[in-house]
Amino acid sequence: MTSDALHIRWGSVVIASLSVWVLSFVLVAGAIFVYAFSLGWAARGAPDSETIQRFADAVAPVWGARLGVVLTGMAALWVGQRVNAGPVWHGLLIGAIVAGVPMAARQQLASDLLISFTITLLAGAVGGWLGRQIRGNPNGHASR
C-alpha cells in the first residue's frame, strides 16, 4: 500500500458529513412542518401542539436515522468519484462521522445505536466504492 492510498481529503469528508446532517435535519423538519401545516389547515386555525409533538417524537429518530444512512451513501458516492485514492476509506470516514456523533452524545451504548452505526459505516463504504466504479467507467455507469 502506497502512502498516496492513505491520503485523506479531510475537507471533502467533513463537508460531506456536515451536508448529511444538515440535509437530514432539514428533510425531517420539513416533514414535521408539512404535517403541522396540514393539521392547521384541517382545523382552520392553530393545530394541536401535542399531536405535532407526538408526530415529531415518532418520526424524527426513525426517519432521521434512515435518511442518515441513505444520505451517507450518497455523500460517500459523491466523494468517491472525486478522490484519486482510497474512496472506500473516505466513505468509511464519512459514515463514522455521521454515525459517531449520536454515539458520542449518548451516555450509554444501546444496541439500536450500534446497529445504526454499523449500517451507516457500510453505506459509506459502499457509496465510496460505487463512486470509484462510476468514475472508472468513461460512460459514467457502474461497471459490472
pLDDT per position in the chain (144 positions), as tens?
A: 444 446 888 999 999 999 999 999 999 999 999 999 999 898 888 888 899 999 999 999 889 889 999 999 999 999 999 888 889 999 999 999 998 887 777 766 677 788 888 999 999 999 999 998 887 754 445 544
Is residue 49 one of the residues assigned to a domain? Answer: yes
Cβ neighbour number for residue 135 with a 10 Å cutoff = 16
Is residue 46 one of the residues assigned to a domain? Answer: yes
Is residue 120 one of the residues assigned to a domain? Answer: yes
Question: Is residue 133 packed enough to be buried (19+ CB in 10 Å), middle (13-18) or exposed (0-12)?
Answer: middle
Q: Domain containing 63: what range?
A: 11-136
Is residue 2 one of the residues assigned to a domain? Answer: no
CA distance 41 to 47: 8
Cβ neighbour number for residue 15 with a 10 Å cutoff = 15
Structural domain count of the chain: 1
Is residue 4 one of the residues assigned to a domain? Answer: no
Determine the 3-state secondary structure of 71 from DSSP. Answer: helix
Place of cell 460505487: 130
Q: Is there a contact between 91 and 125 (Cβ–Cβ < 8 Å)?
A: yes
Question: Is residue 60 packed enough to be buried (19+ CB in 10 Å), middle (13-18) or exposed (0-12)?
Answer: middle
